[in-house]
Structure 1
């Protein structure tokens, strides 16, 4: 996602009209510009947002001095349904997996356009980056730095050993492979959303998506129902 300020943020397609991202990325940008299928800034399909929906328990505020990122999750409804293809496809939600809770030391994959380190001068890279990061105990993140940041069960700690997300990656996915033997294809599900961290290259905190699957499904269902009702009412007026 691109914003007038020049900031970058990530998101994940979960259907042909819905993007899952972090609330702190879009709370001040209700009309983000999105690019889908973009791996080198040349082949992306530009999309427009129809509606941005923040989680109702997210606290809107200044991100510069934010101490609480609990419920850092949001949905972006696109203004049209996007055509899927080799470079554009949705990532699965964790509900369809036998055990959707990433285990300690399980390796996930983070992707994004953000900085490669705190000292990296350019905000975006030339090519989409990804890195494998292991899930860690929450205590590992708590003990990595002296901080007053809030830690909750809605967060996943992951990374370490200079493998991490960084500025510009926020809202992007932390993806895991299926554990079930019934799934033959090597598909991925989104277990976390890049939320916050104390220092690039150390541990990062990710919104735990499995805690919000019901909210995601209900929000999409209700929003699309309202859209259908509005279309039906418009058709009546135009007759």
Structure 2
């Protein structure tokens, strides 16, 4: 297991590390039909973050993707970041009330009109429990392919491994709380622009891309909002829309 190489780092290095919003590195191109729950959150018409289809009128993203001064829409049903599929305007975004810049990094999106569901546009069920450490999970998006590289025009997907929570806590200089889940693999990660996108295990949504330190950094796993832990809030919020 690669946990031993990914988490040993001195406290001085931790203190000097730079936190950045999460970011797909080491990925392969994938058809939207393979990940039909993937959506792109557009800010003032431009690609901004990832999102996940929950139903015809509801999507999920990261709280840090919200900007109350912007006009948002979502693109679904396209493997391309900039065209194709359907574009639907966002009516409102509700962030978790306990979001503090790191913890509870999740938000629910209400769409103005219903999505047309089909082969490339489908919802994904929410996980009831988190995968065990060592489980293989997939993450997808149009984000950067490296820390200093550009975002991808085509949808990418990669496989990472769930990391033990205590080991993840030992790697970071900020608190890793129970509403977070960590995943990593050598040379593979989500990256800037992937925020809000899906972490998937056995066809269920287990995480939402949240934050990390650099992209595919050997000492810092990617951190995701823990969907199983946050599921009660997600369902209550959807009912309130």
TM-score, L = length of structure 2 = 0.77
The C-alpha deviation readout for 1:96-118, integer Å capped at 9, x for no partner, is xxxx2211010111010000110
Aligned-residue Cα RMSD (Å) equals 1.8
Q: Does residue 152 of structure 2 align to residue 125 of structure 1?
A: yes
Determine which of 49, 59, 62 is the counterpart of 1:19: 59
Counting only pairs closer than 5 Å after superposition, residues 153-232 of structure 1 correspond to structure 2 as 153-177=178-202, 188-202=203-217, 203-223=221-241
Q: Is the 8 A contact 2:141 2:194 kept in 1?
A: yes
Change in CA separation of 1:143 and 1:222 when aligned onto 2, cut-off 3 Å:
closer
The secondary structure found in structure 2 opposite 1:220 is helix
Give the structure, 1 or 2, with the largest relative contact order (CA under 8 Å, sep 6 or more): 2
Which structure features the higher share of strand residues? Answer: 2
Determine which of 80, 83, 86 is the counterpart of 2:113: 80
- The unaligned stretches of length 5 or more in structure 1 are 60-67, 178-187, 224-239
Q: Is the 8 A contact 1:8 1:114 kept in 2?
A: no
Q: Which has the larger radius of gyration?
A: 1
* Separation (CA, whole Å) in 2 of partners of 1:76 and 1:26: 10
Q: Is the 8 A contact 1:3 1:29 kept in 2?
A: no
The C-alpha deviation readout for 1:77-114, integer Å capped at 9, x for no partner, is 0001111001000111113xxxx221101011101000
* Separation (CA, whole Å) in 1 of partners of 2:212 and 2:107: 19
Q: Is the 8 A contact 2:169 2:175 kept in 1?
A: no
Q: Does residue 83 of structure 2 align to residue 38 of structure 1?
A: no
- The unaligned stretches of length 5 or more in structure 2 are 1-40
Change in CA separation of 1:77 and 1:30 when aligned onto 2, cut-off 3 Å:
farther
